[in-house]
Amino acid sequence: MQELKHYIDGVAVAGTSGRFSDVYNPATGEVQARVPLATPAEVDAIVAKAAEAQKGWAATNPQRRARVMMKFGQLINEHMDELAELISREHGKTLPDARGDVQRGLEVVEVCMGAPSMLKGEFMDSGGPGIDLYSMRQPLGVVAGITPFNFPAMIPLWKMAPAIACGNAMVLKPSERTPSCAIRLAELFVEAGLPAGILQVVHGDKEAVDALLDNDTIQAVGFVGSTPIAQYIYGRAATNGKRAQCFGGAKNHMIIMPDADMDKAADALVGSGFGAAGERCMAISVAVPVGKETADILIEKLIPRIEKLKVGPYTAGEDVDYGPVITAASKDKINGLITSGVEQGATLVTDGRNFSLQGYEDGYFVGPTLFDNVTADMEIYKQEIFGPVLSQVRAETYEEALKLTMDNEYGNGTSIFTADGDTARDFASRVNVGMVGINFPIPVPLSYFSFGGWKKSAFGDLNQYGPDAFKFYTKTKTVTARWFSGIKEGGEFNFKAME
């Protein structure tokens, strides 16, 4: 069995704790590797090495750092299929989905190639009598990234690329469930010219996370995961005087108006709700059709599309729509929530609980599940299921649908499908959600904007990637300068003239 290692100062290093976590193949339920879990002492030693390396990197001019980003982006492109294979093997998502995972991370790397223009300060001459003022954006030092299992390339790249482009060193702790892609990305970064030690990859569980949060050298922490953990990390980081951007869970709604193109809306719901087995924080998990006729038509269009979905291991080919969920515990939780929906009175239209695949009976597969007549007091509505389950909540009016979205405790993403511009503009203006799609099901902003939710989906003032990332990973220093004009008389300065 493969035993994975930490990646420290540009080389693979075995763990010393004696503790390991199993890495499973979700399609078969078999253990395929072990990953070491670092002790606080190991974490502190790695952080100290990163701090030493960061001094030289901070002194490297932004243009040279950008050249490393350019080479890194080139290498990611060249190794796209290899990285996707690593992701699919540990996560279970299909190869096209895994390539998309890498691609969305690569796009952030591409934006970071323009880091010099993002790191410019401001200047004003003669802001006062003989006074010039200017500001500088300087790196924080050593920062940490704590990333989830569901996007093993994209989210580590969202963290590491802007942090390192700004002149910081990063200690990355990827999910122990999907660790291999992060290690390979670190190797490619060093191959691109990144000095050893600027990107350290340490594996671990809560013990390692707490060590990062309590280490005085770590200046900022970026996290993506569940809301309870996001809230915990944000609170502990803030208590220790660190910057933190922590992104949590979601319950994303799509409102479907009577004038919407119903075929496009149904296609969007199936792709968004069931892609990646529903294991993404931007998945649409709640469909809100307005009016009985709209709801009835939508259900009729969803059923045949869902029944045609092909579920299987990534090795089955490119036409597989989605694969297994990440763990046996996840499968049990999802199945339990489906059962609760039935018990609480929702109409189960398609049932994925008894899905079985010949040859993969021990895999963590859940079939596509569709509920109708879901209400806001049901557990399947209140909880983030993080699985291939779509709930239809019927609304009589647009205002009722809007209120349902706004009253939800999460505020990550939302969408509306309509042919009416006034309705779309009203929705975008009023809804209290961080990312909004208009006739667009997964409104993840392009990489030169910034990603971030509202309410219990995000903790912190600045978003991921884009302009906000360069603000988050730098601190501003402002200089007020005054140069006196002394007049030499007989070889001596006339200090009176300088008064």
CATH number of the domain bearing residue 410: 3.40.309.10
User: Does residue 243 share a domain with residue 110?
Assistant: yes
CATH number where 51 lies: 3.40.605.10
User: Does residue 142 share a domain with residue 52?
Assistant: yes
User: Does residue 272 share a domain with residue 174?
Assistant: no
Structural domain count of the chain? 2
pLDDT on residue 237? 97
Domain span at 89: 2-248+457-480
User: Does residue 198 share a domain with residue 174?
Assistant: yes
Kindly report the pTM of this predicted structure: 0.93
User: Does residue 291 share a domain with residue 327?
Assistant: yes
Residue 445 inside a domain? The answer is no
Residue 335 inside a domain? The answer is yes
User: Does residue 282 share a domain with residue 202?
Assistant: no
Residue 491 inside a domain? The answer is no
Residue 492 inside a domain? The answer is no
281 is catalytic: yes
Residue 26 inside a domain? The answer is yes
User: Does residue 402 share a domain with residue 260?
Assistant: yes
- Selected catalytic residue, list 166, 181, 246, 281: 281
pLDDT on residue 497? 46
Residue 494 inside a domain? The answer is no
pLDDT on residue 110? 97
Residue 188 inside a domain? The answer is yes
User: Does residue 420 share a domain with residue 309?
Assistant: yes
Per-residue pLDDT of the chain (499 residues; tens, 9 = 90+): 799 999 999 999 999 999 999 999 999 999 999 999 999 999 999 999 999 999 999 999 999 999 999 999 999 999 999 999 999 999 999 999 999 999 999 999 999 999 999 999 889 888 788 889 999 999 999 999 999 999 999 999 999 999 999 999 999 999 999 999 999 999 999 999 999 999 999 999 999 999 999 999 999 999 999 999 999 999 999 999 999 999 999 999 999 999 999 999 999 999 999 999 999 999 999 999 999 999 999 999 999 999 999 999 999 988 999 999 999 999 999 999 999 999 999 999 999 999 989 999 999 999 999 999 999 999 999 999 999 999 999 999 999 999 999 999 999 999 999 999 999 999 999 999 999 999 999 999 988 999 999 999 999 989 999 999 999 999 999 999 988 765 455 555 555 544 4
Exposed, middle or buried by CB within 10 Å (0-12, 13-18, 19+), for 45? Answer: middle
Residue 488 inside a domain? The answer is no
pLDDT on residue 484? 79
User: Does residue 155 share a domain with residue 220?
Assistant: yes
User: Does residue 151 share a domain with residue 37?
Assistant: yes
User: Does residue 288 share a domain with residue 224?
Assistant: no
